[in-house]
Amino acid sequence: MSLGVDLMLAKTCSLDCIYCECGQTTDLTLERKEYVDVAEITHELDSFVAQWKGGLDWITFSGFGEPTLHSRIDEIIEHIKNKHPDKKIALLTNSTLFTEKEVRKSVLNVDLVSASLDGATERSFAKINRPHPALSPDSIIDGLVSFRGGFTGALMLEIFIVPGINDTSQELAVLKKAADLIRPDRFQINTLDRPGTVDWVVPASHDCLKRVEAALGSPLSMDGRSSIEGTSAGLAGESKCSGEILTREKDVGGSGKIYGDFMPQVLEALKRRPLSAEDIAKIFGFDKKEVETLMEKLLKKNIIEKKSVGKEVFYTNCHGQTSL
């Protein structure tokens, strides 16, 4: 069970990814500052942990924007380590700030870093991540390599596959080279499973994801191409990192009735990312049918909107209303 902690204002980020679940980036920046007051964050966090009765294993930095843009993230990590020593800390990052030594140092104490790297060439990086103009994939890869050198926790490399852009053999060969330099503990392959920022992105097929997994998990061949195109036994220093394809867990949710007190929390969650009725049922322990009935009522009142990816329906709180 993980509690997501958002250190950023909507939607402040160094990237404007085409698949972002939080909508288009409105403040594309590399400026580090205290976007949300540290005392406010630690107070809210402490009171939530004290009240939550459901068990909590992890505290995860994620949310509306890139968490390492928060200039005092190290103090928040320190606070959690001191005040909640039984909780593990995870950081979901887009890796772009790892070019700075100070940023790398500030997050060394977390237990797990999930670092994104979708495009290792200028072309795919620009198309998928629409970065701040000062960023380049080469410097981000160098930053990740330096971070790995000093980080003793678990490092995951997360790669979001956009069919036709970063799944070609050329792109995968460059990504494979980068992954071999970074030496993550695992890589995770992801694709669209809920609405993103642009309509033309489609999910990669399972066959495509398996092909990517094979290309990234196999050792490099002599000429630097992934061994999916040929064998490469016996290369000195070659690495073989295992990977996994991420899929959303199917869950029927709980059987709890929805009480009025929970409405602000449901609406707050829908403000942050699109969720299906199943997601909501699972997060809050509600009965899925009850959630569907409630969503229909909220749709009729024009409080939320719905979008589809394939056959799945997702709800978003596009207007930001958090009370009825």
CA 149 to chain centre: 22
Stretch that binds ligand SF4, among 11-19, 143-151, 178-186, 228-236 (CB under 6 A): 11-19
Residue 16 near ligand SF4 by CB under 6 A: yes
Tokens of 110: 């977390």
d(CA 307, CA 38): 35
Nearer to ligand SF4, 25 or 60 (CB): 25
Q: State the minimum distance, in angstroms, from the CB of residue 22 to ligand SF4.
A: 5
Residue 178 near ligand SF4 by CB under 6 A: no
Nearer to ligand SF4, 117 or 228 (CB): 117
Nearer to ligand SF4, 67 or 243 (CB): 67
Nearer to ligand SF4, 148 or 194 (CB): 194
Residue 220 near ligand SF4 by CB under 6 A: no
Helix ranges (H only) for 7-165 are 38-51, 73-83, 101-106, 122-129, 137-150
d(CA 95, CA 109): 16
Q: Using DSSP bridges, classify how beta strands 312-316 and 305-309 pair: parallel, antiparallel or unpaired.
A: antiparallel
Q: State the minimum distance, in angstroms, from the CB of residue 25 to ligand SF4.
A: 5
From candidates 22, 89, 115, 267, binder to ligand SF4 by CB under 6 A? 22
Tokens of 81: 């380590």
Residue 158 near ligand SF4 by CB under 6 A: no
Q: Is 283 helix (H, G, I), strand (E, B) or coil?
A: helix
Stretch that binds ligand SF4, among 10-18, 37-45, 137-145, 174-182 (CB under 6 A): 10-18
* Local structure of residue 52 (DSSP, 8 states): -
Tokens of 277: 């009725």
How many chain residues are in contact with ligand SF4, going by CB under 6 A?
10
From candidates 17, 155, 220, 275, binder to ligand SF4 by CB under 6 A? 17
Closest CA to 9 of 272, 273, 314: 272
CA distances in angstroms from 127 to 56, 98, 164, listed in the order given? 37, 21, 11
Burial profile 124-157: b = 16 or more Cβ within 10 angstroms, e = fewer: bbbbbbbbbeebebeebbbbbeebbeebebebbb
Q: State the minimum distance, in angstroms, from the CB of residue 227 to ligand SF4.
A: 30
224 to 243: interface string for ligand SF4, x by CB under 6 A: --------------------
Nearer to ligand SF4, 17 or 90 (CB): 17
Nearer to ligand SF4, 116 or 221 (CB): 116
Residues 82-121 that bind ligand SF4 (CB under 6 A): 94
CA distances in angstroms from 262 to 138, 265, 273, 295, 322, listed in the order given? 45, 5, 17, 14, 10
Closest CA to 20 of 98, 125, 128, 119: 128
* Binding footprint of ligand SF4 on the chain (CB under 6 A): 13, 15-17, 20, 22, 25, 65-66, 94
